[in-house]
Amino acid sequence: MKPTNHQTAPNHGDRFQIRPQVTTSPYLKPGATIGICAPSGSFDPVRFEAGLSRVRDMGFEIHLPSGLSAKKRYLAGDDAHRAGIVNDLFQDPGIDAIFCARGGFGALRILPHLEFGLLNNHPKFVVGFSDITAILAEGVKQCPFPMIHGPVVTSLANASRESLDSLLMALSGPVPGMHLANGKTIRQGRASGRFVGGNLATLASMAGTRFQPDFNDCVLFLEDLNEPAYKIDRMLTQMAFSGIFAGVRGVVLGTFDHCGDETMIHDIVKERFSDPRVPILAGLDAGHGETNLSLPLGGAVTVDADTYQLTFATRGVS
């Protein structure tokens, strides 16, 4: 029976299932080709071109599919059009990684049309954040290698040097770990599990659907933008009551930019993840803030809320 008003106690042993290794590494070398897709909103062409320039500065080639600038209402074309571009990049052996043009809204709409199995034939990172969380969350369920929670092309236009360096590091090899310089312990403890999550509002919109994320045996990362505390409370409460948080082993909070009193948000999160064995660490510079560090989702991670440390396992990608 699903829990109705609280999450069940997770299993906090050190053992959990590691996804099988892939036979081909998706890590990039200079000269690799980045395919660009627009699975969500239409984008500003000036910021888009400025972001592409930053990608080229990293030493990568760029492939721009035809029809990328299509528009339908607030979307970058209709669902079939946007999904078709993504699937073409999935299956193209000449594409080494996929960057998303921007967030906004629309990625959830195309999930029924995406063929993630194509990525198993041609492993490659998918990179994005915000609304792209929908694709990342489904990708980590279906693919035996990480998705990367990191900048979209338009956000690269004015990305900090730290954000750019972090993205290049995540694309080039395993991320061994991070010490959160601005870390804050919300609840003490240490936990290990699959690293999953992303934008809270997007994850909440997926709850109760056939694309509901799998948070079992996970360390859950959350971030958001322009959501007042009561809306964050409402989303977390709805998700907790649905049972989606059952099995969460630890929580890591990224930036909650323009969301009001940070202390209030931390208190709400602590209430929604009430099990005293679930450590909660805040202060990860990832999300909609000035710095957006790139994070490998889907692999194993250990969070130590007392020392402000994230340690990523190098298994899961050959």
Of 181, 173, 201, which is closest to residue 287 (Cα–Cα)?
Answer: 201
In the annotation, is 40 catalytic? Answer: no
In the annotation, is 172 catalytic? Answer: no
Cβ pair 288, 225 in contact under 8 A: yes
Query: Catalytic: which of 223, 227, 266, 294?
Result: 223
Query: Catalytic: which of 40, 166, 227, 288?
Result: 288
Give me the phi and psi of 246, to 5 degrees please: -60, 130
> 275: burial class by Cβ within 10 Å (0-12, 13-18, 19+)?
middle
The C-alpha torsion from 77 through 83 and 86 to 91, rounded to 10°, is -140
Of 87, 161, 159, 151, which is closest to residue 124 (Cα–Cα)?
Answer: 87
Query: Catalytic: which of 42, 130, 155, 294?
Result: 130
CA distance 139 to 137: 5
In the annotation, is 288 catalytic? Answer: yes
Strand 147-149 to 295-297 pairing: antiparallel
Q: Which amino acid is at 176?
A: P
Known catalytic residues are 130, 223, 288
